Structure 1
Amino acid sequence: MDSFFMFSLIRDISNGLSFIHNSFLGYHGHLTSRCCLIDDRWQIKISGYGLKSIRSFEKPNPKDLLWTAPEHLRNEQNERTSEGDIYSFGIICSEILTRSSAFDMENRKEKPDVIIYQVKKGGHNPMRPSLETMESVEVNPALLHLIRDCWTERPSERPNIDQVRGHLNSMRDSRKSNLMDHVFNMLETYAQTLEEEVSDRTKELVEEKKKSDVLLYRMLPKMVADKLKLGQAVEPETFEQVTIFFSDVVQFTNLAAKCTPLQVVTLLNDLYTIFDGIIEQNDVYKVETIGDGYLCVSGLPHRNGNEHIRHIAKMALGFLTSLKFFRVQHLPNERINLRIGSVVAGVVGLTMPRYCLFGDAVNTASRMESNGKPGQIHVTADANRMLTEVVGGFRTESRGEVLIKGKGVMETYWLLGEQASVSQRKNRTPESPRRPSIRSISPIIEQKLMENSGKGLYSEYKDVNNGNV
């Protein structure tokens, strides 16, 4: 309840009490808050008046005497008066303002008999209820003074009901005369506030859902993530033809040994952030990264016909181009391999589920990656045929036959670039010769470094699928 609501209740009680005092009854005599009833229009009606002869034989309950004026407590045989009703009116007003019972008996240790005795005792500082209200409620100070005048010790000093009504009318806000209109305005304001709060909470929920969806879609394909959110099982699916991409950083172990762990993490984060931006420009799905290894695939989970080889090839060429502008103390060289084949894709695990690929094409690609050379894009014969004969627009060069562990001798190729970019490089004016790198000066050292690097990252990781170690 706000201040106007409280004031309206007090005004209704004064109006009802004024009717009784100006009638043949003359006074109520037993006015308490229990006699104040609220109807369906939020108006207070006073009950329990009259029947003086019958009530004279009743033994009053000590709790009912908390509203009784001190002069009637001292002499219960005396007839009740209108001044006593004014005292009871002040006690009821204190209940309305403090939102508590008379004398706040629920939070007191004293019993009603003790309170009645102290009220009956009187004195210069008689026992009266507290008028401390909540900080959120603004009460007119004049109303507090009126209540104190109503329960003053001497009955002659108490105002009559007409004076009480006059003081209350002077405090009334002329703009607010109807309690029902005020209640409806309160409900309307509350509904608007609630609607705005629900709208704000809904917007926050939608934003948080978008953030969680973005994070989930970065971990799993969208169609797979949507099924998991609906509680549906994701069955493994076979894809007849996809292009698999493998890459790693050459001599990453030696590079990591010369850097702190924080520097290694920063290096890979910067490098793969660039790669992720290039992936977004193509229809390619990033499967996972383990250490310096980078695994991507095109053609799943969204089938794109024969365009999977084109998207992977453009992405691989974009990776190599981006390395020209990537500046760190030790510039990494990438070994890249492309392989075409069929795979089975599915979600593995319940805790931190992962979308994994299985099949001979995955194993072959991981083996070829370990046999690649720095700064070169290594492709299989099937991938070469797709690049040059099916989709076209790319230039390749035969590497010859290479011994691939577990697969035997395979003919592989280097992807040089797109047709337009290759012809432009041929027509370009030759540049002044550069100082040879260490690799071109000493191919023997290069071969030793390649041998020391051992198998590619995914060779041992994916060999488990074929039972090879």
Structure 2
Amino acid sequence: LFVIQGMCYLHGGLGAHGKLRSSNCLIDGRFVLKISDYGLNTLCTPTDLIKDDTYYYKLLWTAPELVASSIYPGAAASLKGDVYSFGIILEEIVLRAGPFHNYTTTMSSKEIVGHVCARESPPFRPVVSVGEVGAAAGGGGGAAVELLDLAERCWAEAADDRPSFDTINANYIKGYCDNLMDDLLRRMEQYANNLESLVEEKTEQLSLEKRRSEELLYQVLPRPVAQQLMAGEVVQPESFECVTVYFSDIVGFTELCAASTPMQVVDLLNDLYSTFDRIIGFYDVYKVETIGDAYMVVSGLPERNGDLHAREICLMALAIVEAVRGFVVRHRPTHRLEVRIGVHSGPVCAGVVGVKMPHYCLFGDTVNTASRMESTGQPLRIHLSENTRALLDQWGTFVVERRGEVELKGRGRMLTHWLLHCSEPEARPPTQGLQPPPQYPILFPALPQPALSLQVPYLVVEPPTLAA
């Protein structure tokens, strides 16, 4: 509509434009179309005329009767020639593509101009199918078809058969204005709906990625500590009065590595530790780290749980031993895998160490003692310290066997015990055939509270001879 009004103004007294092309129809900041490149033919006349593809591309908007006299595009101009150019622009508007869109993929601009000037019968003009109109209009095909009908009148072979811009404005566009405005409003509404859907979809994707990133961070650091770091807070070291630390180690791991390839060792550790990871997900424990074949777990931090930490670690240790008994090494199915387990309870200090790849570490003599309990243990047996045994006394459901005093490096002789089994009914899922959580692993799951029978006495089995 703005193009027609602008051309009516020019043809009303200023004369023909001569270079009416879509590239000369400019939109300002108020979405008002203005026609540019009018006049100043003397200043715009090129000194060296090069008839390259750009030269012929600009002639695609030029009426066939003006091409022969166009020393350069726009040199020859007429009122009816501007109407022809307007018809080509209508094709671009309807298809949302360049001029002669269906021919530019197979023909050069020079070849298209040659066909237009050859006065073929029927005249060589842009071809637009009904399907293209419907696809480009996006549901507003009625107005698009009417504009194409007008375009065919505008690019008629005989110049006298083309309507003037005044006629177009009076008889055609005014009748199309309602359809065009409706189409414009429909497109704006459709754009707003699409934009809203797109924003909602991107927001959901961003939220999902944020949850994934957070859950990944929760696998590296305890959830409360990770939340403090994400909030920009400084995580201060914290002392815990009493926690229970678990260490386990694969018996004969060095010899097994020597008889295996590096990839087989990686697969073995991945299979074994994945089994352990699934088991600990059912207990109120935190996996501190794995170093080689050593597996370290703690309970009672970063969230305190009273004296439950000893019970949680011991129940988890019993489940791990049961799982290891049925574990099969993929590359050596006949090999019987065995682990040593050591458990000790006492005070520790915990904090985040490092800036790059921060690590949640435990410090204190309790950690060293738990490691010594593991190294002085026996295959497929759970080695308890006296501190842990004393904490288990209140539950009355754990069966232990007194081992006696054992020499621990750096600690001297300590009274230790073997954990045999637990007499209480286990409400947790079985250790065999565990399924991973549905989407994200849970480091601190909600713990079921089984009914405890405190009437069962604490059992101590005295062996005939003490194991050294």
Is TM (by shorter chain) over 0.5? yes
1:408-457 deviation line (CA, Å, top 9, x unaligned): 111111111213489xxxxxxxxxxxxxxxxxxxxxxxx9xxxxxxxxxx
Q: Does 1:248 align with 2:249?
A: yes
CA contact (8 A) 2:373 2:383 kept: yes
> Counterparts of 1:193-272 in structure 2 under 5 Å?
193-272=194-273
Point out the structure with the larger helix share: 1
For residue 349 of structure 2, what is the amino acid of its counterpart? V
C-alpha change, 1:246 and 1:124, in structure 2 (3 Å) is closer
Aligned AA (2:365) = D
Q: CA separation in 2, counterparts of 1:243 and 1:39? A: 73
Asked if 1:29 is matched to 2:15, the reply is yes
Whether the 8 Å CA contact 1:306–1:391 is kept in 2: the answer is: no
Question: Structure 1 residues 234, 169: closer, same or farther in 2, change over 3 A?
Answer: closer
Aligned pairs for 1:255-334 within 5 A = 255-328=256-329, 329-334=334-339
Whether contact under 8 Å (1:289, 1:295) holds in the other structure is yes
Once the two structures are TM-superposed, the CA of residue 20 in structure 1 deviates from its matched residue by 11
1:86 alignment counterpart: 80
1:351 is aligned to 2:356: yes
**Structure 1 residues 257 and 20, CA, compared in 2 at 3 Å: closer, same or farther?**
closer
Deviation at 1:319, TM superposition (A): 0.8
Q: Name the residue aligned to 2:447.
A: none
Aligned pairs (5 A) from 1:385-404: 385-388=390-393, 390-404=394-408
**In structure 1, C-alpha distance between the alignment counterparts of 2:324 and 2:26, rounded to whole Å:** 84
Asked whether the equivalents of residues 278 and 315 of structure 1 are also in contact (C-alpha less than 8 Å), the reply is yes
Distance of 1:309 and 1:164 partners within structure 2: 91
Contact 1:287 1:296 (C-alpha < 8 Å) held by counterparts: yes
C-alpha deviation, 1:387, in angstroms: 0.9
Conservation of the 8 A alpha-carbon contact between 1:255 and 1:330:
no
User: Hey, what's the Cα distance between the residues in 2 that align with 1:91 and 1:250?
Assistant: 88
C-alpha contact (below 8 Å) 2:285/2:297 kept by paired residues: yes
Within a 5 Å distance, the mapping from 1:402-421 to structure 2 comes to 402-420=406-424
What is the count of residue pairs matched by the alignment? 366
Inter-CA distance 137–86: structure 2 relative to 1 (3 Å threshold): farther
Q: Secondary structure at the match of 2:178?
A: coil
Give the match for residue 385 of structure 2: 380
**Is 1:146–2:146 an aligned residue pair?**
no
Q: How big is the shift at 1:212?
A: 1.8
Partners of 1:42 and 1:178 lie apart in 2 by: 19
Matched-pair contact (CA < 8 Å) for 2:88–2:155:
no
Q: Which residue of 1 aligns with 2:366?
A: 361
Aligned residues of 2:247 and 2:370 also touching (Cα < 8 A): yes
Q: 2:460 maps to which residue?
A: none
Distance in 2 (alpha carbons) for counterparts of 1:40 and 1:370: 78
8 A Cα contact 2:62 2:84, kept in partner: no
**Change in 2 beyond 3 A, CA 1:157/1:200:** closer
Partner of 1:336: 341
Deviation of 1:392 after TM superposition, in Å, equals: 2.9
Q: What is the CA-CA distance between 1:254 and the residue it aligns to? A: 1.2
Change (3 A) 1:225 1:416: same
TM-score with structure 2 length normalisation?
Answer: 0.65
**Cα distance in 1 for residues equivalent to 2:30 and 2:317:** 78
Check the 8 A contact 1:377/1:416 in 2, yes or no.
yes
The residue type equivalent to 2:15 in the other structure is G
Identity %, equivalent residues:
41
Q: How many Å separate the matches in 2 of 1:312 and 1:59?
A: 90
Residue of structure 1 equivalent to 2:140: none
* Cα displacement (A) at 1:158: 4.1
* Aligned partners of 1:13 and 1:36 also within 8 Å: no
SS in 1 for 2:215: helix
* 1:177 alignment partner, SS class: helix
Q: Which one has the largest radius of gyration?
A: 1
Unaligned runs of 5+ in 1: 1-7, 47-57, 75-82, 104-117, 423-446, 448-469
Superposition CA RMSD, Å: 4.6
The gaps in structure 2 that reach 5 residues or longer are: 46-58, 70-76, 100-112, 138-143, 427-467
Task: Name the aligned partner's letter for residue 295 of structure 1.
Answer: M
